[in-house]
Structure 1
Amino acid sequence: MPNHKNPPPSRRQILKTAGLAASAATFSTFGTKRAAATGYPERTIKIIVPFAPAGPTDVMARILGQSLADALPGNVIVENRPGASGNLGIGYVAHAEADGYTLLVTSSAYVVNPSLFAKIPYNPFRDFAPITELGTTPNMIVVSPKLGVNSIAELFARAKAKPDELNYASPGAGTTPHLSAELLKIVGGVEITHVPFSGAAPAIQALLAGTTQMAVAALPAALPCVQSGEIKALTGTGEHRWPDLPDVPTMIELGYRDFIAETAQFFFAPAKTPPDIVQKLAAKSIEVLKQPAVVAKLRDNGYEVVTHGPDGLRKYIETEVPKWRDVIAKAGIKPV
């Protein structure tokens, strides 16, 4: 029977209460329109991405930046400031001038880093004005077909019958796929050895090569090999089944209530940004993200659009930070 003890809060509960990288360059500029004489924006908006170019967050930011450049009377640029698992860029925006011209697009690192690091350059509750969540992608629990495991129940049975035999690859310690696997171990009451890699692609390659028997990765990295039959997906950690994998159940469907562990992307302004600017950015972002072409483009990159505005994102953060703090503590992961 599933272990339902201390289930993480549900995304549904939270919300009910309230090549695309244009190049590997650090900067990209969208649009050539001049700012209007009065009103926001009157000059170029800069979106900071706290990760390297061409990664998932960078792709999301560039789609958003292009769309906002078309919707607002000014230029929008994306600037990459990678380092320290995202903390460098997040901290930069936290201490930027709160005038609406320096913004942040970041990932779930925002909600997990406060528990992974002994000291970070931002407070997740006080240093930012939430604009909106942008999109989510589920993490996938995948195994080698040679393992002979066809379901999460069979995986748990194997792990309990042969402790310490199984291992799994992840894109790195502290990533949401890694933490999804730790949550899986907690609810299943099993031990599976973590083998961290330097990204999702190396983690999947390790599984294909037989270095590990299973892997946990965000959907975009795992999807091609699942569709080709090279690896088998046991479950997804999103709220719904992914449309391109209609036969792969979610953990919720398997009886693990509220097991949602997605990789999400967020849009923020510094905390003291004028509320009317935050609301304008939220309204414009939601408007462009609902455009069919943008929805399709994000779906092609493995994202489901999520647009719940400032209040929805604020409530999500208030729940996700303590949720992952609890998972990290139970997994015995010590802050660095």
Structure 2
Amino acid sequence: MTDGHGSPVAITRRSALALGLMSFGVGARAQSGEAPYPNRAVRFIVPAAPGGPTDVMARVVTPGLHARFGQPALVVNRAGAGGNIGVVQVKQSPADGYTLLIASTGFVVNASLFRDPGYDPFTDFLPITELGSSPNVILVPPSSTITSIAALIAKAKADKGKLNVINPGQGSTPHLTAELLQLRTGIEIENIPYNGAGPAIQALLANTAPVGITALPPAHAHIRSGALRALAITAEKRWFDLPDVPTAEEQGLAGLVSETFQGMYAPAGTPAAIVERVARDTLDVLKDTATIDKLRGVGFDVRASGPDGLARRVAKEVPMWRDIIVQSRIELQ
């Protein structure tokens, strides 16, 4: 992020985040004299509705953490305000390792989408690890007459500004992908945010919305079963078990590559030994073959990058998505 006049603020915040990472120790005690961490349930706040990609990721990863912690690893959904409600809840929680955040790309997008999201991604949180990423998909009900990206563009031009394209929420990468689609093609659509990927998928399944864009995981099983038709995937290449779904670039949309990533974070001030312990255990879970196969099977690439890797991704994506928001002239919230 910048102060609106350049990059010094981004550099300062990034440096502060890096300094926080340098203090990692090897112990796992919350405070001197306390029982080893964790000695009770750990809550993982997902700032989105059930059924979305971040919720799916959390529910695949947390059973392995439960086994390694020897304590419950609980997934708690706190949707609202584009994800800001759940993120702020974690920011305001005690920095003791018992309330952690699993968030999607919205965590970095909202820093530019909202005038005041209620948190700073650089100074209010410590990165634990990136978990995975997934491309987005452009979807229609199977009965739709829209059978390709070319047909979608033609329909949008015929119904200028009237074609509803739903997405999981304001500021989500599917929402911004729809904005990029308009920028790349010159079409005008009605880009409609829902409160999470789960509700958006249900609207498509019920045929109450003509077109939707979501991350791949919540749509994957429905594409495989034929309950939804995928017009395109916003990846550099076709997905391994969806060989009949072409990429957007294959259909003439150069540069329309976007993905949603999930990361795990702790409130700023969390002891370094706790961050290290959670990172180590999470990386162990993500190296497990059964976990990798399960995540790939529902539409994720596993990205076990650790604290440094997630810090680099946050530092890269905050300005990247800010530029797209500015180009799309999206009104700040």
Instruction: Give the TM-score category using the shorter length.
Output: 0.7 to 0.9
Alpha-carbon distance in 2 for matches of 1:155, 1:116: 27
Residues 249 and 81 from structure 1, CA distance in 2 versus in 1: closer, same or farther, beyond 3 angstroms? same
User: TM-score by structure 2 length?
Assistant: 0.76
Residues 326 and 247 from structure 1, CA distance in 2 versus in 1: closer, same or farther, beyond 3 angstroms? same
Alpha-carbon distance in 2 for matches of 1:220, 1:283: 25
Q: Who is 1:15 aligned against?
A: none
Matched, 1:331 2:309: no
Alpha-carbon distance in 2 for matches of 1:309, 1:240: 26
Q: Who is 2:264 aligned against?
A: 267
Q: Who is 2:27 aligned against?
A: none
Q: Who is 1:62 aligned against?
A: 59
Matched, 1:94 2:91: yes
Q: Who is 1:238 aligned against?
A: 235
Alpha-carbon distance in 1 for matches of 2:90, 2:304: 22
Q: 1:83 aligns with which of 80, 93, 106?
A: 80
Q: Who is 2:120 aligned against?
A: 123
Farther off after superposition, 261-270 or 58-67: 58-67
User: TM-score by structure 1 length?
Assistant: 0.75
Alpha-carbon distance in 2 for matches of 1:69, 1:42: 12
Q: Who is 2:9 aligned against?
A: none
Alpha-carbon distance in 2 for matches of 1:277, 1:46: 14
Q: Who is 2:106 aligned against?
A: 109
- Could you give the per-residue CA deviations for residues 128-150 of structure 1, whole angstroms, max 9, x where no partner exists? 11111112232211346676555
Q: Who is 2:6 aligned against?
A: none
Alpha-carbon distance in 2 for matches of 1:298, 1:121: 31
Farther off after superposition, 40-49 or 85-94: 40-49
Alpha-carbon offset, residue 292 of structure 1: 1.7
Residues 314 and 253 from structure 1, CA distance in 2 versus in 1: closer, same or farther, beyond 3 angstroms? farther
Farther off after superposition, 114-123 or 45-54: 45-54
Q: Who is 2:44 aligned against?
A: 47
Alpha-carbon offset, residue 230 of structure 1: 5.7
Q: Secondary structure at the match of 1:105?
A: strand
The CA RMSD over aligned residues, in Å, is: 3.2
Q: Secondary structure at the match of 1:329?
A: helix
Please say if residues 123 and 268 of structure 2, whose CA atoms lie closer than 8 Å, have aligned partners that are also in contact.
yes
Please say if residues 85 and 109 of structure 1, whose CA atoms lie closer than 8 Å, have aligned partners that are also in contact.
yes
Structure 1 portions without partners, runs of 5+:
1-35
Alpha-carbon distance in 2 for matches of 1:197, 1:42: 38
* One-letter amino acid of the counterpart of residue 293, structure 2: A
Superposed structure 1 runs of 4+ greater than 6 Å apart: none
Q: Who is 2:294 aligned against?
A: 297
Please say if residues 169 and 204 of structure 1, whose CA atoms lie closer than 8 Å, have aligned partners that are also in contact.
no
Residues 151 and 133 from structure 1, CA distance in 2 versus in 1: closer, same or farther, beyond 3 angstroms? same
Alpha-carbon offset, residue 122 of structure 1: 0.9
- Could you give the per-residue CA deviations for residues 158-188 of structure 1, whole angstroms, max 9, x where no partner exists? 6557744644232343333222111122122
- Could you give the per-residue CA deviations for residues 205-250 of structure 1, whole angstroms, max 9, x where no partner exists? 6556765543212324434453455654221123542222112233
Structure 2 portions without partners, runs of 5+:
1-32
Residues 264 and 276 from structure 1, CA distance in 2 versus in 1: closer, same or farther, beyond 3 angstroms? same
Q: Secondary structure at the match of 1:138?
A: strand
* One-letter amino acid of the counterpart of residue 113, structure 2: L
